[in-house]
Amino acid sequence: MRSGLGNASSRKLVGWRRYRWMPTLGNSSIGTKNDMRIACPGAVDQLLDLARDAADRRARLIFFCACKSPWLTKCHRHEVARLLRHSARRRNLAVNIEEWPGGRPNSRPHILRVSPEILNDMERGAKAVPLQRKRVPTQFVAIPWGTLVMLKAGRREFPCRSVQRHFSDRWVLPRFVDEEEALPASSLPTLRREAAKLRRRYDLY
């Protein structure tokens, strides 16, 4: 289900029976300098009803928009999630909202072999790891936010915490970082603590 502008390619991908466009939950301030504003906040009741119907079918409801990241922009998905929790409490219903793909990161890091040049860039604070292949490796297809990744180039290695893979002109694995973070941490225990802190901040638990 998509808020805001309709998307023919998404509708074609999942099929019209499974796709629902809800402009009522879009950001009515798009194209203006005004603060983000949900077009019709009361429409979350309809969203909650759709989620209950999906639960009856043992399915999940996916709510998405056009933002590349819910945190690098003032994405209205956060406000919709807040309104949805409020609606569920008012109706005395339990609801679980997770940023796709959900789940918690494994305690052990995933291994990713990279070139010495990429490892050097990451040590200097690069924001993403180029995957250097046409297809995303299976182990990185649906990793939870904050997953630990150990980059290896020969005998050298460097740990980082990552988010979902992203495609712009190529597949990359972005780092899961605080926008005010100066230099990346270089130890797994520190990365685990910081990942847990960021997941709590962004309601990923």
Percentage with pLDDT > 90 across the chain: 25
pTM for the model? 0.67
- Asked, for residue 105, whether it belongs to a domain, the answer is no
Average pLDDT, the chain: 81
- Do 6 and 61 belong together in one domain? yes
Residues 79 and 25 sit within 8 Å (Cβ to Cβ): no
Q: How many domains does the chain have?
A: 2
Q: Is the model more confident about 102 or about 122? A: 122
- Return the pLDDT at 60: 83
- Do 184 and 116 belong together in one domain? yes
- Return the pLDDT at 125: 84
- Return the pLDDT at 4: 46
- Do 69 and 145 belong together in one domain? no
Concatenate the DSSP letters of all residues of the chain into one string.
Answer: -EESS--HHHHHHH-TTT--EEGGGSBTTTTSSSPP-BS-GGGHHHHHHHHHHHHHTT-----B-S-S-TTTS--THHHHHHHHHHHHHHTT-------TT-S---SSPEEEE--HHHHHHHHTT-SEEE--SSS--GGGTTPPTTEEEEEEETTEEEEEEE---EESSSEEEEB---TT--S---SHHHHHHHHHHHHHHTT--
Convert the pLDDT of each residue in 11-62 to its tens digit: 666 676 778 888 899 888 888 888 888 999 999 999 999 999 989 999 888 8
- Asked, for residue 6, whether it belongs to a domain, the answer is yes
Domain residue limits at 158: 110-201
| Predicted confidence (pLDDT) at residue 93 exceeds the cutoff of 80 | yes
- Do 127 and 194 belong together in one domain? yes
- Return the pLDDT at 116: 94
- Asked, for residue 102, whether it belongs to a domain, the answer is no
| Predicted confidence (pLDDT) at residue 191 exceeds the cutoff of 80 | yes
- Return the pLDDT at 89: 95
